[in-house]
A and B are shown apart, each in its own frame.
Chain A
């Protein structure tokens, strides 16, 4: 059970880090999209 818990914690940490990266990428993508749209406008 201890191993399972630690594995869960590790998995949670990994997913949280990935979530953070995805949020950063999405933010950057939104900025690029808005910039491109402004160029077209």
Chain B
């Protein structure tokens, strides 16, 4: 019997030597198996190719490490790039958000500016000044308080006695002193008065002695009295009896910041008979008949007084005696 058909005596060895090729060409099909006649020579080459496989493996590992390191670098670069991209996108988003906001705000700003202009115009038209306060109370109060003040400013000069150091100018009105300060240009203090004759009277008065002549009181009035004028008899009585209504300009500086008309009255100079242009009531008292009547009354009262005659006689005799002795 022949058992060769039942038993396969071939070794069927296949060494698959494709790893010596390119590392990236792993998908190539394996080469055809060598014929059985060359098996012995293949066994000889097997040991040599095994050493070559180890070298290829190490090269493969090195290549894998290199690509992995490159992959890591790419990942880091991509992460950094994503961060920068997100940051830049956020900036762009903020910029895009700001622009519509500015576009929306611009009309409101215009409306606000228009409203503020309207308010300021209202204040200007109602108050006559440029103050920006816009509360209702102030807008209601200031027309009453400031319009009269700005309306009229005038100044008077009154000569007082040398021994008198008070800052009181008797002009017939009742004044309440509410302040006093020392100014830079004048050593004498400046006193501030407010008319107290009527509670709602806005007139204020500043009284200060003149720089040139300390015996002259300079009173600056602001505003107009909203009440009837009290008796003027007080104005010509007491220590200010030399006061007379005349329109002679005063030597002191006038207020430059005042808006209204400035009127300066000088009561320091002696009144003359021809100065009766501004005031009506003093004009009536300075008529020739009245002056003659007053002079007669004064003369009669003086001659009737025995003390006056004795003093006059003593003065005249003393004067004569001094002239003789000299």
Contact A37 B60 (CB under 8 A): no
Identity of the chain A residue whose Cβ is nearest the Cβ of B56 in the assembled complex: A5
Q: Is B45 an interface residue (CB 8 A)?
A: no
Q: Is B64 an interface residue (CB 8 A)?
A: yes
- Output the residue of A9, A19, A29 with the most chain B CB within 10 A: A9
Identity of the chain B residue whose Cβ is nearest the Cβ of A32 in the assembled complex: B85
Within the complex, what minimum Cβ distance (angstroms) separates B55 from chain A?
Answer: 11
Encode contact with A along B227-258: 1 for CB under 8 Å, 0 otherwise. 00000000000000000000000000000000
B16: chain A residues at CB < 8 Å are 2
List which A1-36 residues lie within 8 A (CB) of chain B: 1-2, 4-6, 8-9, 11-13, 15-16, 18-19, 22-23, 25-26, 29-30, 32-33, 36
Q: CA–CA, A11 to B14, complex, Å?
A: 25
- State whether A25 and B78 are in contact (beta carbons under 8 Å apart), knowing that A12-B67, A40-B92 are contacts in the complex: yes
List which B65-91 residues lie within 8 A (CB) of chain A: 67-68, 70-71, 74-75, 77-78, 81-82, 84-85, 88-89, 91
- The interface on chain A, measured as residues whose beta carbon lies within 8 A of the other chain's beta carbons, has a size of 26
Q: Is B19 an interface residue (CB 8 A)?
A: yes
Within the complex, what minimum Cβ distance (angstroms) separates B53 from chain A?
Answer: 7
The SS class assigned to the A binding surface is helix
- State whether A18 and B71 are in contact (beta carbons under 8 Å apart), knowing that A11-B64, A12-B23, A13-B26 are contacts in the complex: yes
Q: CA–CA, A16 to B24, complex, Å?
A: 10
Identity of the chain A residue whose Cβ is nearest the Cβ of B25 in the assembled complex: A9
Q: CA–CA, A25 to B75, complex, Å?
A: 10
A19: chain B residues at CB < 8 Å are 67, 70-71, 74
A30: chain B residues at CB < 8 Å are 81
Contact A26 B64 (CB under 8 A): no
Contact B92 A36 (CB under 8 A): yes
Q: CA–CA, A20 to B316, complex, Å?
A: 136
B85: chain A residues at CB < 8 Å are 29, 32-33, 36
Within the complex, what minimum Cβ distance (angstroms) separates A2 from chain B?
Answer: 8
Contact A15 B19 (CB under 8 A): no
Q: Is B102 an interface residue (CB 8 A)?
A: no
Contact B64 A29 (CB under 8 A): no
Contact B67 A26 (CB under 8 A): no
Q: CA–CA, A23 to B75, complex, Å?
A: 9
Identity of the chain B residue whose Cβ is nearest the Cβ of A40 in the assembled complex: B92
Contact B26 A9 (CB under 8 A): yes
Partner of B92, one of A4, A6, A11, A39: A39
Contact B57 A22 (CB under 8 A): no
Q: CA–CA, A30 to B95, complex, Å?
A: 21
Q: Is B124 an interface residue (CB 8 A)?
A: no
Residue positions of B touching A, CB distance < 8 A:
16, 19, 23-24, 26, 53-54, 56-57, 60-61, 63-64, 67-68, 70-71, 74-75, 77-78, 81-82, 84-85, 88-89, 91-92, 95
CB<8 Å pairs between A and B, sample of 8: A5-B19, A8-B61, A8-B64, A9-B60, A12-B64, A29-B82, A36-B85, A36-B92
